[in-house]
Amino acid sequence: MIKGVWPGRIERLLWIGVVFPLLTGCWDRLEIEERAVVLAIGIDEVENGSEVEVPQITNESDIFAPPNNQLVRVTVQIAVPGGIPLGPGEGGGGSSGVGGGQRSIWVVDAVGNTIEGALNNLQERIAPPLFYGHLRIIIVSEAVARKGIDNLNDYFRRNPEVRRMNWMFVCKGKAIDLMKTSPQLERVPPLYLVSMMDQAVKMGRFPNDFLGLFWSASSALGKEGFLPYLSLKPQGTMEIDGMAFFVKDKMVGLTKPIEIPMYMGIMGMSPAGGQVYVQVPEMHNFVLFGGRARKSIIKSSIRDGEPHISIHTGIEGVILEKFSEGMPLDDRTIHLIERKLEHDALEGYRELIRKTQEKGSDIFGFGEIIRAKQWRYWNRHIGTEEAWREKYKTLDVDINVHIYIRRIGMKSR
């Protein structure tokens, strides 16, 4: 301590003066059971003409006037504390593992002018503070996606609690319907969707596209983002019905489900999980081919002052199923199948690229490759996102496909 009587006493006073106010409050303390843990958010638009009253919480009609736009409806799934027991469900609450979904989630919705406005209105009706730290799923209805999700993106980027590892989906119809379903296999239904996507990525059925990647792709100058497209199917299941591709923050188109592995084929993403029928030429038979690994090499060049992309892509796979007997599988047949598949795949790829070119949505990132490798051209002729979108519509793309069938399963022929 400081020597001397007076400096010592002053110092002690200083200490007391500084330390005590700190003890007055734990400002941020919020017990885990006092939070409303939001697990999933669904966003719909409110149709014109429906009778909806917006509570005057964030705005009054003249003062603090909100933007004059379509109202949004936000639905949230909140985890009910106690609805999910610790450990394998003990006797106590009487909730069994199966069908636990009903009791563990509470679905509520609210209306507002923007996302945060709607959430604010929601908070007015819910006692515990909403906590987004465990938010995993964001579902946007197709209507909203087509109108533009820039407000959404901004809100979620700004909120420090939201993770970038979430999944955002576009759904067919209304998001609120999806939110109300609860699949049987999971104690916490939104986690079902999360594991569905994670498994899809692992099985090679969908590219890794969580929110952070989507944002990076959207922000990049030469690339556009895409999101998985969900639709509700019978028995409470949900199906990935394709990819929704965007231009900036508006959805402009939808691919077919089969085009997902095609996209992955062009990009060369492994592992590969797509399966296609191949009609064996000369044999009137069909086999089902399953891909196991993909690789592609994408090269860029400038020809006659125009950018040019050439893709060499290869897929390795196995034969999963043969439609009928009468066609033993031998080396020659395998090669026939390979050639037919190459031909089909080439057509499919070209079709997909054309589809995206129509809308000017470069989800493959060819623009990024041009920007990175042919930067002189980029700096001089393109330079901005919009310019690339225009250019993409007429981009010349060359594709070469190689298929390798390696194995045919346990059956010898």
Partner 1 sequence: MTIFDWFQRRSRKKKSKQPPLPIPDQYMEQHADDPIPNNLEKAVQLFTGLLEDSQFLTVRRFRLFGQFPAAMIYFSNMVDPEIKNADILRPLMYVPDHLAGTRIALKDLSDIVMNDALYYTGSERQQKMGKVILKLLRGGTAVLIDGLNDAIVMETTKIAQRSIDQPETEQVIRGPREGFVEQLGTNISLLRYRLPTTDLKVKTMDLGRVTKSKVAVCYLKGIANDALIQEVFNRLSKIDIDGALDTGYLEQFIEDSHYSPFPQIQNTERTDKAVANLLEGRVIILMDGSPFALILPTTFSQFYQTTEDYNERFLMVSFVRLARLQALVFSLITPSLYVAIISYNPELIPTEFAVAVSGGRAGVPFPSVVEVLVMEASMEMLREATLRLPQQIGGALSIVGVLVVGQAAVAAGFVSPITVVVIALTTIGSFATPAYNAALALRLLRFPLVGMASMFGLYGVMVGLILIANHVLSLRSFGVPYLTPIVPGNFQGMKDTLLRFPLWSMKRRPTLLHTDNDRRLGKDVDNQMKRPTNNTLDPLKVGNEKEDAEGGISPSDHGDTSGGDHH
Partner 2 sequence: MEYPRQITVIQAAAIITSTIIGVGVLALPYFAAGHAGTASPLITLAAILLSFFGLWFISVLGMRFRTQSIVEYSEAILGRWLAFAGNLLIILFFAALTSLAAREFGEVVITAVLKRTPLEVVVAIMLLIAMISCRKDITTFAYIHHFYLPIIVFPAIVIVALSLRNAKAINLLPIWGNANSWSNLLGGVLVVAALFQAAFIYTMVIPYMRRPERALVASSAGLAIAGGLYLSIVIAVIGVFGAEETKKLQWPTLELAKTTTLPGNVLERLDAAFLALWVTAVFSTLFSTYYFTIFAIGKLFRMRDRNMLAPFLMPLLFAFAMVPTNVLHMYQIIGQVGRLGLYLTIGYPLFLLIVAKIRRIRGNSDDQGRVARPN
Binding site for partner 2 (CB under 8 A): 2-3, 7, 11, 14, 18, 22, 27-28, 133, 157, 160, 163-165, 212, 215-216, 219-221, 365, 368-369, 371-373, 375, 378-379, 383
Distance of CA 341 to the CA centre of its chain: 29
Whether the link from the prior residue into 271 is cis, omega within 30° of 0, is yes
Q: Quote the least distance from Cβ 380 to partner 2, whole Å.
A: 9
165 binds, among partner 1, partner 2, none (CB under 5 to 8 A by kind): partner 2
Number of residues that bind partner 1 (CB under 8 A): 31
Sort 40 into a burial class: Cβ within 10 Å, 0-12 / 13-18 / 19+.
buried
Nearer to partner 2, 187 or 371 (CB): 371
Q: Quote the least distance from Cβ 29 to partner 2, whole Å.
A: 9
Nearer to partner 2, 150 or 396 (CB): 150
Tell me how far CA of residue 39 lies from CA of 36, 42, 162, in angstroms.
Answer: 9, 10, 11
Q: Quote the least distance from Cβ 270 to partner 1, whole Å.
A: 27
84 binds, among partner 1, partner 2, none (CB under 5 to 8 A by kind): partner 1
Give the residue from 360, 378, 358 showing the smallest Cα distance to 368.
Answer: 378
Q: Pick the stretch among 19-27, 165-173, 223-231, 250-258 that binds partner 1 (CB under 8 A).
A: 19-27
- Candidate list 29, 158, 380, 411; residue touching partner 1; CB under 8 A: 29
Verify binding: residue 191, partner 1, rule CB under 8 A: yes
- Amino acid present at 371: R
- Candidate list 19, 63, 86, 98; residue touching partner 1; CB under 8 A: 86
Q: Quote the least distance from Cβ 320 to partner 2, whole Å.
A: 31
Q: Pick the stretch among 23-31, 42-50, 220-228, 396-404 that binds partner 1 (CB under 8 A).
A: 23-31
Q: Quote the least distance from Cβ 220 to partner 2, whole Å.
A: 5
35 binds, among partner 1, partner 2, none (CB under 5 to 8 A by kind): partner 1
Verify binding: residue 82, partner 1, rule CB under 8 A: yes
Residue window 215-254: x/- pattern of binding to partner 1, with contact defined by CB under 8 A: ----------------------------------------
Cα separation of 193 and 211, whole Å? 14
Nearer to partner 2, 138 or 280 (CB): 138
Verify binding: residue 32, partner 1, rule CB under 8 A: yes
Verify binding: residue 37, partner 1, rule CB under 8 A: yes
Q: Quote the least distance from Cβ 166 to partner 1, whole Å.
A: 11
Residue window 103-132: x/- pattern of binding to partner 1, with contact defined by CB under 8 A: -x--------------------------x-
Q: Quote the least distance from Cβ 149 to partner 2, whole Å.
A: 15
Catalog residues that contact partner 1 under the rule CB under 8 A: 22-23, 25-26, 28-33, 35, 37, 39, 79, 81-87, 104, 131, 133-134, 136, 161, 163, 187-188, 191
